[in-house]
């Protein structure tokens, strides 16, 4: 997402650069050519003024010394860029044009047309001036190439600087606009990720300074996101109310069951039954309290527990029923703690679902075993039994499919699967090599560092084994 937003911002900057460069070239190149043409006209106009300044002197006299003094009094003459071609071929001053180009007609008559002649290092401007007896003298003014382009380079530099400044300003404006769009889009993406992670209070601001400058489309997307989040909160609240109501309906049969258990008298079986009823009652109360809590006000989940301790505790709970039914059982696991990134209650529910399936779908007296293995990046819990196994493992793990037995809802293994997949792990169904029946393997990934609660940081005892 970040790469996409950066690409969007960079695309806007490139579009601004391209547009500004095209506009700058469309205006600045013709303007530069006009400046160059203006400089050329300015140079030739100045040369014509220099030539016209000799007109009065030539009208009075054609004496070479007088004309030389008149040449020296002008700026062009002082720079040795002015010459006079007198009738008869006499030249006063430094001439660049050829004699044939600057001479009058054979009769020296007036009406000879002037013009410009290309010479070495520039141009020679020829200006005819009438002298005595109707004859014509040709005034030559040398215009160097430097005068034709004087100021043009500076003008091009200034125009180029203006173009670069326009591009920089357009890039800055486009970047600021892109930053606003990207900021709004990133805010929306962050809110979506936060909502996906369970934060139901997150909303995208649609008014105020935080939403200033956001495009109308993104503002509409923010409105839609907030409406969706409100709808999710409403649906979750309704679902929790339904779960609380359904759980509350269990209170009546639980009360009857507790009264019947109290009338069982003394004995290990009666004590175990009363303990199970009490725990079931506590679990139902916990479900009701949790369901009644508003999803927005629910505290954040604290992940992390010791899989070894949880598995030992749940196996010890089911061992009492196993002894009553004459089921041999065995628990094997590592001696070190095995932290996993899941809630303690969720892991306990998953283990109860696995062991409950053994008691529910195998005959009385069928042996079972629980094996826990911890590696560097995963913790695996294997639950096997000596029963008939799975006729078809594929539908057994599908939600609602069940084992096909009476009283099976098909939700137990689906709960286990969701727990494993929440850590990036998986659930495998197969046949137990030791007992010959079904075997379910639950792999919980532990790549994310998990910190155990303080009371669980202790070295557990040796694995429990009982046959």
pLDDT at 343: 85
Domain match, 430 and 326 both:
yes
Checking if the pLDDT of 385 tops 80, the result is: yes
3-state secondary structure of 135: strand
Domain match, 315 and 447 both:
yes
Q: Where are the beta strands (DSSP E) in 73-218?
A: 82-85, 91-93, 115-119, 122-130, 136-144
Domain match, 289 and 238 both:
yes
Residue at token pair 């649609």:
206
- Mean pLDDT along residues 180-194: 79
- For 317-330, the pLDDT digits (tens) are 888 888 888 899 99
- Specify if 236 maps to a domain: yes
Quote the percentage of the chain above a pLDDT of 90. 7
Contact between residue 357 and residue 370 where contact means Cβ atoms under 8 Å apart: no
Residue in 119, 68, 64 with CA at minimum distance from that of residue 86 = 64
CATH of residue 444's domain is: 3.30.565.10
- For 231-250, the pLDDT digits (tens) are 888 888 777 777 766 666 67
pLDDT at 467: 45
- Mean pLDDT along residues 282-302: 61
Against a cut of 0.75, is the pTM above it? no
- For 338-375, the pLDDT digits (tens) are 889 888 888 888 898 899 888 888 888 999 999 999 98
pLDDT at 411: 66
Contact between residue 92 and residue 149 where contact means Cβ atoms under 8 Å apart: no
- For 269-286, the pLDDT digits (tens) are 777 787 777 877 777 777
Distance, in Å, from the CA atom of 3 to the CA atom of 23, rounded to the nearest integer, reads 30
The token duo for 218 is 């993104």
Domain match, 448 and 336 both:
yes
Q: What is the DSSP letter of 215?
A: -
Checking if the pLDDT of 84 tops 60, the result is: yes
Domain match, 415 and 435 both:
yes
Q: What is the DSSP letter of 73?
A: T
pLDDT at 246: 67
pLDDT at 7: 65
Boundaries of domain holding 407: 305-456
Q: How far, in Å, are 173, 185, 224 from residue 180 at the CA level?
A: 11, 9, 19
- Specify if 273 maps to a domain: yes
* Residues whose CB is less than 8 angstroms from the CB of residue 286 and which lie 6 or more positions away in sequence, other chains included: none
Q: At what angle do helices 216-248 and 152-196 cross, to 10 degrees?
A: 10
- Mean of the per-residue pLDDT values of the chain: 77
Total domains present in the chain: 2
- Specify if 123 maps to a domain: no
- For 200-227, the pLDDT digits (tens) are 888 888 776 666 666 777 778 888 888 8
Distance, in Å, from the CA atom of 213 to the CA atom of 177, rounded to the nearest integer, reads 8
pLDDT at 104: 46
pLDDT tier, 288 (very low <50, low <70, confident <90, very high otherwise): low
N-to-C CA span, the chain:
56
Distance, in Å, from the CA atom of 367 to the CA atom of 363, rounded to the nearest integer, reads 9
- Specify if 311 maps to a domain: yes
Long-range contacts of 84-88, Cβ-Cβ distance < 8 Å, separation of 24 or more: 84/54, 84/58, 84/137, 84/138, 84/139, 84/140, 85/137, 85/138, 85/139, 85/140, 86/62, 86/131, 86/137, 87/62, 87/131, 87/135, 87/136, 87/137
């Amino acid at each position: 997402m970040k790469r996409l937003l950066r690409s969007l911002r960079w695309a806007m900057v490139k579009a601004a650069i391209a547009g500004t460069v095209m506009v700058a070239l469309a205006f600045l190149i013709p303007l530069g050519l006009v400046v160059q043409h203006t400089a050329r006209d300015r140079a030739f106009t100045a040369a014509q003024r220099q030539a016209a300044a000799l007109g009065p002197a030539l009208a009075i006299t054609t004496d070479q010394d007088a004309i030389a003094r008149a040449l020296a009094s002008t700026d062009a003459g002082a720079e040795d860029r002015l010459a006079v071609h007198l009738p008869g071929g006499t030249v006063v001053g430094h001439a660049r044009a050829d004699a044939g180009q600057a001479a009058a007609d054979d009769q020296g008559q007036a009406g000879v047309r002037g013009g410009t002649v290309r010479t070495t290092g520039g141009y020679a401007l020829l200006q005819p001036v009438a002298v005595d007896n109707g004859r014509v003298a040709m005034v030559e003014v040398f215009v160097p190439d430097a005068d034709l382009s004087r100021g043009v380079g500076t003008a091009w530099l200034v125009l180029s600087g203006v173009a670069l400044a326009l591009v920089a300003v357009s890039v800055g404006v486009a970047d600021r606009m892109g930053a606003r769009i990207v900021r709004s889009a990133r805010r929306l993406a962050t809110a979506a990720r936060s909502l996906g992670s369970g934060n139901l209070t997150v909303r995208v601001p649609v008014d105020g300074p935080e939403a200033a400058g956001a495009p109308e489309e993104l503002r509409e997307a923010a409105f839609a996101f907030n409406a969706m989040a409100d709808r999710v909160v409403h649906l979750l609240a309704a679902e929790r109310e339904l779960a609380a109501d359904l759980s509350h309906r269990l209170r009546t049969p639980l009360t009857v069951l507790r009264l019947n258990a109290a009338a069982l008298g003394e004995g290990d079986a009666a004590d175990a039954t009363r303990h199970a009823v009490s725990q079931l009652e506590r679990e139902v109360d916990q479900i009701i309290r949790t369901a009644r809590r508003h999803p927005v006000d629910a505290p954040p989940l604290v992940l992390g527990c010791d899989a070894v301790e949880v598995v030992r505790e749940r196996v010890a709970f089911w061992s009492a029923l196993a002894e009553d039914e004459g089921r041999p059982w065995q628990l094997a696991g590592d001696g070190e703690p095995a932290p996993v990134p899941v809630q303690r209650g969720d892991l306990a529910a998953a283990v109860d679902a696995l062991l409950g399936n053994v008691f529910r779908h195998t005959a009385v007296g069928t042996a079972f075993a629980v094996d826990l293995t911890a590696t560097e990046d995963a913790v695996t819990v294997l639950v096997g039994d000596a029963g008939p196994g799975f006729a078809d493992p594929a539908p057994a793990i599908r939600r609602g499919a069940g084992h096909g037995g009476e009283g099976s809802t098909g939700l137990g293994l689906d709960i286990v699967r969701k727990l494993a997949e929440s850590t990036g792990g998986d659930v495998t169904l197969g046949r137990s090599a030791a007992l010959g029946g079904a075997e379910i393997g639950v792999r919980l990934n532990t790549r994310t560092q998990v910190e155990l609660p303080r009371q669980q940081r202790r070295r557990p005892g040796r694995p429990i084994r009982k046959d």
